[in-house]
Amino acid sequence: MLKTPSVLISGANKGIGLELVKQLINSPVPPAQILATFWQSSPTQELEALANEHSFVWMIELDSASIRRAVERVEAILGSSGLNLLINNAGINSYATLKTVTAEDMMVVYQTNVVGPLLVTQAFLPLLKKAAQTLDMEKMSCNKAAIVNITSLLGSITLSQKNFRSAPMYPYRLSKEHSAQ
């Protein structure tokens, strides 16, 4: 059972990120604060409904242009307690095949799926350190501070060769490979 005071989920607008928000809300011990980020200027109706229904769910815009503002907003919400858990989940896909993929396709996906989590982690690291210092605990856990990077089955070379031959998506698969092994 996950027990953490605060969690920030990148890419909480849909897919795995939105499902993580739902699972945390419905967990036996939900976090005191769920910071659900979205990009492209507006959250989905489903995320908005969850935030309206649960006062501990906060919607925060987060993309490459708004990282600093997102950190400031999270800091204002959490105050001196810091951030306990950062889940880097956001990502984009490309349906390019080996025949159609371009260098530009690769760079756009890598910028979001590889460089994006690095920049988000760097930006939120001071808040994670603050949470780690706030709680005087011996062992590491997400009660203190942790970073989780999400990948997918498409990032596994072995699994994708067996199961996903009809979905080449080379830029996405290569950008997620690094964390799936």
Residue 171 within a domain? no
pLDDT for 71 equals 97
> Using one digit for the tens of pLDDT, what is the confidence trace for 15-51?
999 999 999 999 999 999 999 999 877 788 999 999 9
pLDDT for 179 equals 45
The number of beta carbons lying within 10 Å of the beta carbon of residue 56 is: 15
Residue 179 within a domain? no
Residue 97 within a domain? yes
pTM equals: 0.85
Domain range enclosing 13: 6-152
Sign of CA dihedral 48, 54, 55, 59: negative
Residue 103 within a domain? yes
Domain count, the chain: 1
Tokens matching residue 63? 């993309």
> Using one digit for the tens of pLDDT, what is the confidence trace for 144-162?
889 998 877 666 656 655 6
Q: What is the CATH number of the domain that holds 141?
A: 3.40.50.720
